[in-house]
Chains A and B, each alone.
Chain A
Amino acid sequence: MLSPNPRSTASVRGHPLHVMLVPIPLVCFVGTLITDIVYWQTAAMLWADISAWLLVVGLIVAIFAVIAGLIDFFGDRRIRELRPAWIHVLGNVTALILAIFNSLIHTRDAYTSVVPTGLILSALVVLILLVTGWNGWSMVYRHGVGVREHGVGVRDVNRT
C-alpha cells in the first residue's frame, strides 16, 4: 500500500535525516551574519575568527544535509512534483555555493576578510535561507513530506 504522503527515503525509523541536519548549517550561517556585523562594527578580530569557524562547520554539516535532502528529492516522484521542493533545492544549492565563496573570502587577513564582500555574502545566504526555509516548511507542514499518516502503522510507512 502506498502511503498518501510523499515519503522521506533518507530516514531512520520514520525520522527523516534531512530535517535533523539542516538546523546546524542554518544556525551557523545566521550566526556568521551576526558575527560579521559585530566585526564590521568593532573591528575586533575575534568576531571575524568566529565567522570563519561557523562557515566551515556549517559547510561540513551542510554536505550531509544536502546528501540526505537529495536522496529524498530523487527518492519520491511526488516530492519532485512539488513546486516548493524545487525552490528549496535550487535555493539551497545557490546558498551553499555562496557560502563556499564566503568561506574563501573569510580566509583573507583582517578587515577585507569580512568588509564588504564577506558581509554581503553572509547577508545574501541568510536571505536565500529565509526563502528556502519557508518552502521547506511548506513541504512538511502543508504537503506532509516525510510525515507519517494517522492510522497507518510505522511498519507501513517504512516499508521498502
Chain B
Amino acid sequence: MKPAKAPVQSAGFALAIAAITTLAACGPDPVDPNRQLGANPDLPAIHEYLLPPMHVAEVVGWNGATPTVPSDLKIQAFATKLANPRSLYVLPNGDVLVVETGGPPGPVSRPKELVMNWVEKMAHSRTKPGQRILLFRDTNGDGLPDQQTVFIDHLNSPFGVVLVGSDLYVADTDAVIRYPYTTGDTKITAPGVKLCDLPGGPIDHHWTKSLTASPDGTKLYAGVGSNSNITENGIQAEVGRAAIWEIDRATGSHREYGTGLRNPNGLQFEPQTHVLWAVVNERDELGPDLVPDYLTSVKDGAFYGWPYSYYGQHVDPRVQPQRPDLVAKAIPPDYALSSHVAPLGLVFYTGTNLPAHYRGGAFVGEHGSWDRSILNGYKVVYVPFENGRPSGQAEDVVTGFLVDGDKARGRPVGLAVDSQGGLLIADDTGNSVWRVTGKSP
C-alpha cells in the first residue's frame, strides 16, 4: 500500500465556488422600455443566458375589479366567465364573435421543454379552452350584450375570423374553413368547407392563425407563426411558417406575401392607405431587452429577418447554417413596441365614441412577458397615426392587468371595435371581454 499523502484540495473547491458565483451573476444593464418604442429602438448587445429568467405572473383573477383606463374613458365588463377568449370579430349587424381557444400541447423533444411546458401552464388560465366561437348580441342598444349563443362549436384551436359577403372564414390552427352566414344568424350548424390547409402539428409551436381579408374581398391574409423560438426544432419544421400567407378566395391557392415575421398576429388593413399591418412577436433568449416586438406594415415580397437576423441586418448567431444572402435582403420593421410585450391584438380605431385623441391610430393588445425578470406588456397601448404611418410615442391606455407588481388579474389579447365605436378587449387569462368607451357618449 502506498503511503498516505495530503492532497491539494483547494483547486477543486475554488472551481466549485467560482462556478456557483458565476451561475448567480446578474444579467446586462436593463434598457428603459421607452427607449425601445418607435422607429429606432435601442438594441443592446446580445446576452445569452446560462439560466434563462422565467418570470411568470401568478394568475389571481379579477374578483369584481376592472382594468384601469384614463379619466376620459370608461371600462365595463362586456362578458365574463368565458373559457379562454383570445380573439374577437364584430359582424356587420353588430353581433360580436368571441373565439374561445387554446393551443395544442407542446411536444417534448428536450428536457428543457418539460420545464417550459410547466411554466407556460402557470402563466395561463386554468380554464379548459372552449375551442368554439360564441356570439353576443346587444338588443337594447346599451352597448352590452343581453343574448349569448354558441355560434360555431368543435373547432381546432381557432383564432382568426373574417366575413366576406356571406362567407365566414375561420382560421383553425391547421386550416382556413368557410361557413355560410346570413345576417342575423346566431348559430351555424352547416359543416364548414376547407378553403386551404395551414401549417399545423405535430409541433405547432406558434399556433394562432390570424386572419383578415383584402379591402376588395378577393384575397385572405393569414398569419402563420414560426415553429420554434429560433429554429431549435430544425429548419425543416419552418416550411411555410414565419410568414403571412395571401390566399386566393376563389381557388384556395396561396403564396407567401411577407416572410421572416416570427409570429405575426392582428392582421389589419390600415383604413386610410389600405396597407396591410401586423404585430409581430420577436425572438427570445437573447437578453431581457432583445429583441423588441413590433408593429409593422407588411410589404409585398418583403423579408423581415427571422430567423437569420433581426431589425434588418443584426445577425442571430444561433441559426446555422447562416444565410448572408437573406440577411442582406432583410428590412427593419416600422415601429418597435419594446421587448417581450407579446403583442397579439391590433385594431385601427375609426369610430367616434372614444375622444378625438384616439381616432385614426392603432390599439395594440400586449399579452405580456414571461421571460424577463421585470414584467413588460400586460396592457393595451395606443399608437397615434398620421397619413397611414405611426406619428408619435405609444401610450398606455388600458392597464391594471397586473396587481401587486407581479400578479396577473388578466392578460389582454385580441381587440375589436364594436358597432357603437367601443373598444373590445379579449382577456384570455381573466376569462373576460372588456369594453372601453368615452366617458360622455
Per-position binary interface string of chain B over residues 36-52, scored 1 when its CB falls under 8 Å from any chain A CB and 0 otherwise: 00000000000011111
User: Are A44 and B7 interface neighbours, CB within 8 A?
Assistant: no
10 residue pairs bridging A and B, Cβ less than 8 Å apart: A45-B233, A48-B232, A49-B109, A49-B110, A98-B19, A105-B50, A107-B52, A109-B229, A109-B230, A109-B318
- B197: shortest Cβ distance to chain A, in Å? 24
User: Are B111 and A56 interface neighbours, CB within 8 A?
Assistant: yes
The CA of A97 and the CA of B233, in the complex, are separated in Å by: 28
The CA of A143 and the CA of B15, in the complex, are separated in Å by: 29
A19 contacts the other chain (CB 8 A): no
- For A52, A105, A109, the residue with the greatest tally of chain B CB atoms inside 10 Å of its CB is A109
Residue on B with the closest CB to A42? B320
B317 contacts the other chain (CB 8 A): yes
Give the contacting residue for A107; candidates B5, B11, B112; CB below 8 A.
B112
User: Are A97 and B234 interface neighbours, CB within 8 A?
Assistant: no
A82 contacts the other chain (CB 8 A): yes
The CA of A86 and the CA of B9, in the complex, are separated in Å by: 8
Residue on B with the closest CB to A89? B12
Q: How many residues of chain B are within 8 Å of chain A by beta carbon?
A: 36
The CA of A102 and the CA of B181, in the complex, are separated in Å by: 57
User: Are B52 and A110 interface neighbours, CB within 8 A?
Assistant: no
B-side contacts of A143, CB under 8 Å: 1-2
User: Are B51 and A104 interface neighbours, CB within 8 A?
Assistant: yes
Residue on A with the closest CB to B228? A109
A67 contacts the other chain (CB 8 A): no
Please report whether the interface of chain A is mostly helix, strand, loop or mixed according to DSSP: helix
The CA of A86 and the CA of B4, in the complex, are separated in Å by: 11
Give the contacting residue for B230; candidates A53, A101, A105, A110; CB below 8 A.
A110
**Besides the known contacts A81-B5, A108-B48, A110-B320, 9 further A-B residue pairs in the complex with CB atoms under 8 A apart:** A56-B111, A81-B1, A81-B4, A97-B15, A101-B19, A101-B50, A108-B318, A109-B231, A113-B318
B441 contacts the other chain (CB 8 A): no
- A93: shortest Cβ distance to chain B, in Å? 6
User: Are B232 and A52 interface neighbours, CB within 8 A?
Assistant: no
A20 contacts the other chain (CB 8 A): no
- A29: shortest Cβ distance to chain B, in Å? 15
A-side contacts of B7, CB under 8 Å: 83, 86-87, 90
A-side contacts of B229, CB under 8 Å: 109
User: Are A112 and B317 interface neighbours, CB within 8 A?
Assistant: yes
- For B19, B109, B320, the residue with the greatest tally of chain A CB atoms inside 10 Å of its CB is B320
The CA of A138 and the CA of B2, in the complex, are separated in Å by: 11
Residue on A with the closest CB to B283? A109
User: Are B5 and A45 interface neighbours, CB within 8 A?
Assistant: no
Give the contacting residue for B232; candidates A45, A78, A87, A104; CB below 8 A.
A45
A-side contacts of B233, CB under 8 Å: 45
A-side contacts of B12, CB under 8 Å: 90-91, 93-94
User: Are A109 and B19 interface neighbours, CB within 8 A?
Assistant: no
A-side contacts of B50, CB under 8 Å: 101, 104-105
B-side contacts of A137, CB under 8 Å: none
- For A49, A93, A113, the residue with the greatest tally of chain B CB atoms inside 10 Å of its CB is A49
- A44: shortest Cβ distance to chain B, in Å? 7
